[in-house]
Amino acid sequence: MSALDLGLPATVPPPEPGGLPAEVTIWEVGPRDGLQNEREVVPLEVKLEFLHRLAEAGLRVVETTSFVHPDWVPQLADAADVLAGLDRRPGVRYPVLVPNERGLDRALRAGVTDIAIFAAGTETFSRRNLNRGFDAQFAMFEPVVGRAVAEGLAVRGYLSMVFGDPWEGPVPVEQVVTAGRRLLELGCEQLSLGDTIGVATPGQVEAVLRAFDAAGIPPARLAVHFHDTYGQALANTAAALRAGVSAVDSSAGGLGGCPYAKSATGNLATEDLVWMLDGLGVRHGVDLAALADTSAWMARQLGRPSPSRVVKALISD
């Protein structure tokens, strides 16, 4: 597997300082991060069509589901069925979230080749989301990542609450860098920095990315995951691109939020991201019209309009 297969911009020259990458890898999270917040269980065939349409629209990384315990997230209890029914498009990666070793066992049985783990950037969120302390989470993830790497899987690490925590407030940058480094040292090839409650602003994004770079973790190892709670997701993404990041998480139609942060509105919408990248002349490979059609279709399945500004602008029904 080449660096390009792993989503790393191996053939793209590094941007000039303050410049933009020539190409961005969009990590589509709608089917997992988006749907996991939906109370009403979405039928399997709708999920499969959603995945199919996202890949057809040109997305090359589509996070497919999570092997979280079905009691925690009933919406994703059909993870194995989703994987079994997936109409895999050549050249598309279908990573899945794996919370622990039991989840890894299920993912391996389903034949996955890409996984992601979800770590907490703060003590409080670690206790609430993972039921263990900040330090103890790494001991839990160590055998997950170790076994996955030994099996030849690509592993991504999510780090959440990077830019603010609803219980602790501001999160020290050194704590974030330390946590991120520990995930990379476990064997994660890429680290996705999550603004889980959507409070980040562009100057803070630059400061966090500078701190990682100063600690020897370059932007090529990083992705960004913004929420649009305060309307800052695109501004934050632009700041990250100018700092050298070329992997961006987003969710078709802006699906999803965070069950632990009541105020957290949706993920950055993939359509909004694509519109900005088009304007900036940054390549991404996505057919915007096909994607917006897909999100409008999914919104009809869910019974409410997409929160994406671009979907609203492009789709008149």
Shortest Cβ 307–Mg ion spacing (Å): 13
Shortest Cβ 175–Mg ion spacing (Å): 20
Retrieve residue 21's tokens.
């990458």
Place of tokens 């980040």: 200
Residue from the set 25, 204, 265, 267 that interacts with Mg ion by CB under 5 A: 267
Shortest Cβ 251–Mg ion spacing (Å): 7
Number of residues that bind Mg ion (CB under 5 A): 2
Decide if 121 contacts 160 (C-beta within 8 A): yes
Closer by beta carbon to Mg ion, 121 or else 187: 121
Shortest Cβ 186–Mg ion spacing (Å): 22
Shortest Cβ 211–Mg ion spacing (Å): 22
Find, among 99, 94, 75, the residue nearest to 153 by Cα.
94
- Catalytic site residues? 258
Closer by beta carbon to Mg ion, 15 or else 158: 158
Q: Does 265 participate in binding Mg ion (rule CB under 5 A)?
A: no
The 3-state secondary structure of the chain reads CCCCCCCCCCCCCCCCCCCCCCECEEEECHHHHHHHHCCCCCCHHHHHHHHHHHHHCCCCEECCEECCCCCCCHHHCCHHHHHHHCCCCCCCECCEECCCHHHHHHHHHCCCCEEEEEEECCHHHHHHHHCCCHHHHHHHHHHHHHHHHHCCCEEEEEEECCCCECCCECCCHHHHHHHHHHHHHHCCCEEEEECCCCCCCHHHHHHHHHHHHHCCCCHHHEEEECECCCCCHHHHHHHHHHCCCCEEEEEHHHCCCCCCCCCCCCECEHHHHHHHHHHHCCECCCCHHHHHHHHHHHHHHHCCCCCCHHHHHHCCC
Give the x/- contact pattern for Mg ion in 20-59, rule: CB under 5 A.
Answer: -------------x--------------------------
Closer by beta carbon to Mg ion, 218 or else 259: 259
Scanning residues 123 to 162, which ones bind Mg ion (CB under 5 A)?
A: none
Closer by beta carbon to Mg ion, 258 or else 274: 258
Orientation angle between helical segments 134-150 and 173-186, nearest 10 degrees: 30
Shortest Cβ 254–Mg ion spacing (Å): 10
Closer by beta carbon to Mg ion, 33 or else 63: 33
Closer by beta carbon to Mg ion, 15 or else 35: 35
Which positions touch Mg ion (CB under 5 A)?
33, 267
